Amino acid sequence: MMNGGTRVNRDEIRVFVYGTLLRNEANHRRLKDARLAADQAHVQGALYDTGRGYPSMVLRSDGGAVCGEIYEVDEATLRSLDELEDYYGPNDPRNEYERVKVVAKTNQGDVSVWIYVYAKEPAESDRIVTGDWRGHRRRRES
């Protein structure tokens, strides 16, 4: 099935989440039909606070580690995530995020995952150096 212009195999739909889709976060309900595949994972990149209640991430080899979780999802859930992330297809100018395949590291080894990365260049002053959205949000709210 085609989704956002990308063919997806049901056995390979693993998504790395790092912000409001994490457990106990605002949009986690979108993963109600998903299976948690790894509760501690990380991807090399840099995490930023958008100032709008959710983070953004860019892939950078010098960025450090962004913490997250990996979920196995069905095609309907992936479409729902595409909608949430304003992803219309590869390189569509309307995209707020691009959906790309990367390798995530877990305590059980490397896993190929889809991830939503920011389609724009964020301000370096908004960087979350810890790579941890939950911790950053808690510190900001206290």
Active site residues: 85
- Quick one: which of 34, 33, 72, 65 has its CA closest to 133? 65
Is there a contact between 118 and 126 (Cβ–Cβ < 8 Å)?
no
CA distances from 128 to 66, 92, 97, 140 (A): 9, 27, 18, 11
Beta bridge partners of 17: 69
